[in-house]
Amino acid sequence: MDFLFITQQSLSAAIGVNTIIFALAAIGLNMHFGYTGLLNFGQAGFLAVGAYSVAVAVVSYNISLWIALLIGIGNSIILALLLGIPTLRLRADYLAIVTIAA
């Protein structure tokens, strides 16, 4: 058995998944900061809450991945609404300060 081939395949699979995750995060930050000029640190928190929710649902409760993804998206949306509605009128530095606290 070629262990180098197995290692190479598992490494490329792990790097590929991380690349997709970071690319989606970068696209979201580009949409928000690049086009509006508003710096929002809450997006990292939303990504973390979604990922943690998916991991807990799959590992602890043995829920299928697709249902767990919906749970993670739902939890991220709830957090975004809880943080977003009070900060609708904030601009520039104040938005960055409030979203760092999230």
The full set of domain ranges for the chain reads: 1-37, 38-102
- Residue 79 CA to residue 95 CA, distance in Å, equals 16
pLDDT at 82: 92
pLDDT at 52: 97
pLDDT at 87: 85
pLDDT at 6: 65
pLDDT in tens, 41-72: 888 889 999 999 999 999 999 999 999 999 99
Separation in Å, CA 45 to CA 5, 54, 76 = 36, 14, 9
